């Protein structure tokens, strides 16, 4: 048996069996390639536009939800502040005497001072012929509120110069006190006004006249 019996002869294709490239076929291929490129670009642009639209809708929906939440929490905060102010104002108004070691004749609330550079608001004012009691009211106060309370003694005299010779007492009334805040008030000579059970209790042994 000869060697050729084990070798399968593969017939080489005739080069003339492949289509011959012509200017027309090349131009058609280029046009088809350009069409596919434009189609792909259009698809990408459309998908990007759809993605942007969905992102904008999601962002707008998120903004609406956050605004609603802010309105809700802001409303709760405002309601708490109004409740605390009404509660403490009524407590002072019923007695209107012997607070901070003084007998006060008048009580005012939400008084605003508008002198440039000294604009301020005074939640509760207790007034007599020689003394002013300024009570800052918070539903839940913080130590960071103390510097603003101390400044009220200065701003009040600027805003209401007819009380220049009055001594000023400061107080903080809040529904929620904590030890560090009470200690800060004591150190600064600010009266502590808080709810204990169904009554309002004032701690003023450390009170300072400003």
Domain harbouring 90, CATH code:
3.40.1350.10
CB atoms within 10 A of CB 172: 25
pLDDT of residue 60: 67
- Is a pLDDT exceeding 90 seen at residue 190? yes
Domain assignment present for 19? no
Domain assignment present for 13? no
- SS3 label, residue 19: coil
Domain assignment present for 174? yes
- Average the pLDDT over 116-123 and give the result: 93
Measured between alpha carbons, how far is 122 from 124 in angstroms, rounded to an integer? 6
- Is a pLDDT exceeding 80 seen at residue 75? no
Instruction: Using pLDDT thresholds of 50, 70 and 90, give the confidence band for residue 58.
Output: low
- Is a pLDDT exceeding 70 seen at residue 11? no
Domain assignment present for 90? yes
Residue 20 has, within 13 A of its CA and on its CB side, a CA count of 4
| Contact yes or no for 191/172 (Cβ under 8 A) | yes
- Is a pLDDT exceeding 80 seen at residue 153? yes
What's the CA angle centered on 96, arms 90 and 98, to 5 degrees? 130
pLDDT in tens, 89-114: 877 766 555 667 778 888 898 999 99
* 196-202 contact pairs (CB < 8 A, 24+): 199/91, 200/88, 200/91, 200/92, 200/173, 202/99, 202/100, 202/171
Report the number of distinct structural domains present in the chain: 1
Domain assignment present for 161? yes
Domain assignment present for 26? no
Across all residues in the chain, what is the average pLDDT? 78
Residue whose entry in the numeric block shows the structure tokens 């350009």 = 34
- Is a pLDDT exceeding 90 seen at residue 202? no
Domain assignment present for 9? no
User: Domain span at residue 197?
Assistant: 84-203
- Average the pLDDT over 20-26 and give the result: 67
pLDDT of residue 12: 53
Residue whose entry in the numeric block shows the structure tokens 């080069």 = 15
Measured between alpha carbons, how far is 157 from 139 in angstroms, rounded to an integer? 26
Name the pairing type of β-strands 199-203 and 106-113.
unpaired
Helix locations, the chain, DSSP H: 23-95, 146-159, 179-188
Domain assignment present for 63? no
| Contact yes or no for 165/152 (Cβ under 8 A) | no
pTM higher than the cut 0.75? no
């Amino acid at each position: 048996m000869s060697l050729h019996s084990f070798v399968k002869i593969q017939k080489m294709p005739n080069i003339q069996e492949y289509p011959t490239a012509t200017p027309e076929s090349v131009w058609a291929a280029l046009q088809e390639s350009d069409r596919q490129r434009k189609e792909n670009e259009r698809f990408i642009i459309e998908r990007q536009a759809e993605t942007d639209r969905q992102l904008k809708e999601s962002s707008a929906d998120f903004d609406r939800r956050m605004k609603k939440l802010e309105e809700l929490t802001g409303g709760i905060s405002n309601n708490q502040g109004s409740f605390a102010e009404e509660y403490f104002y009524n407590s002072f108004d019923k007695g209107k005497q012997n607070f901070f070691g003084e007998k006060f004749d008048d009580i005012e609330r939400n008084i605003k001072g508008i002198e440039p550079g000294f604009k301020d608001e005074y939640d509760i004012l207790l007034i007599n012929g020689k003394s002013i009691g300024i009570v800052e009211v918070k539903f839940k106060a913080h130590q960071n509120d103390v510097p603003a309370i101390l400044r009220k003694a200065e701003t009040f005299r600027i805003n209401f110069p007819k009380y220049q010779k009055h001594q000023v007492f400061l107080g903080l009334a809040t529904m929620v006190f904590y030890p560090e805040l009470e200690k800060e008030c004591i150190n600064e000579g600010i009266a502590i006004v808080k709810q204990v059970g169904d009554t309002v209790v004032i701690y003023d042994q450390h009170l300072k006249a400003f």
